């Protein structure tokens, strides 16, 4: 593979994952002891204690009743119809643990409520960073950096939005990839990848790693990679 010329030094980022259940786990309704124990046992190997687990106040709607666990840069939400993971300002080294955290809770849930396994995976990554050449040799500007002049206006940078249908051996889905000028960092780059995958069973870790692969492949088309 040809070495890539540019690296994105990420200054801020966020990842949101939602694993929608095939059926709401209503058989667990009213059994707070089972839910708290299950989330705790699934996550204790990641350093989660009882003081890291809480419930949101004022959640009156059935779809908003939740148990929330904080694990470092990650926050996991158990709802009766979905599992969510949210993380901010993480590094590439944190990504494998994110998938493993959701996977642990998904496996516990599938054991106690087999009809409520995850069957739809929705993830959204966003990052703001600066772009620089890799190595010591200067290289030409990447293709997205040039914006044609128009009506004498000030060129603020080119934006790219790509939409795809994707298919693998065990999933179908859609992907939206965006590159644009960062509104947070002067002269910086905004990167976004939204994916929705149907299938893969409850394998949230595989869904997240698949999305990570999509992002790497699409950035490569523009001579870019995210700096480790």
130 occurs within a structural domain:
yes
Sign of CA dihedral 89, 49, 34, 109: positive
Domain with 66 in it? 6-226
Task: Evaluate if residue 154 carries a pLDDT over 70.
Answer: no
Of 9, 13, 8, 10, nearest to 222 by C-alpha is: 8
Pick 104 or 64 by higher pLDDT: 104
112 occurs within a structural domain:
yes
47 occurs within a structural domain:
yes
Residue ranges in the chain assigned as alpha helix (H):
32-43, 95-112, 204-220
What are 77-122's pLDDT values in tens digits? 999 999 999 999 998 888 888 999 999 999 999 899 888 889 999 9
Number of domains in the chain: 1
- Cβ atoms < 10 Å from Cβ of 33: 8
148 occurs within a structural domain:
yes
0.85 exceeded by pTM: yes
**Which of helix, strand or coil describes residue 78?**
strand
1 occurs within a structural domain:
no
Q: Which pLDDT score, from 0 to 100, does residue 117 have?
A: 87
């Amino acid at each position: 593979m040809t070495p890539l010329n540019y690296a994105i030094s990420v200054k801020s980022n966020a990842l949101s994952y939602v694993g929608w259940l095939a059926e709401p786990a209503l058989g667990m309704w009213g059994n707070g002891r089972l839910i708290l124990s299950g989330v705790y046992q699934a996550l204790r190997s990641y350093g989660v204690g009882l003081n890291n687990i809480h419930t949101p106040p004022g959640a009156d709607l059935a779809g908003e009743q939740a148990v929330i666990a904080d694990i470092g840069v990650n926050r996991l939400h158990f709802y009766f119809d979905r599992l969510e993971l949210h993380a901010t300002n993480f590094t590439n080294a944190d990504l494998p643990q994110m998938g493993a955290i959701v996977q642990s809770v998904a496996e516990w849930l599938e054991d106690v409520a087999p009809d409520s396994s995850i069957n739809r995976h929705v993830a959204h990554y966003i990052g703001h960073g600066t772009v620089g050449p890799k190595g010591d040799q200067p290289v030409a500007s990447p293709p997205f950096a040039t914006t044609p002049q128009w009506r004498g206006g000030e060129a603020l940078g080119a934006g790219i939005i790509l939409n795809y249908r994707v298919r693998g051996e065990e999933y179908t889905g859609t992907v939206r990839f965006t590159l644009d000028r960062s509104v947070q960092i002067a002269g910086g780059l905004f990167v976004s990848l939204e994916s929705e995958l149907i299938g893969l069973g409850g394998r949230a870790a595989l869904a997240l790693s698949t999305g990570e692969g999509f992002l790497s492949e699409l950035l490569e088309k523009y001579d870019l990679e995210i700096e480790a």
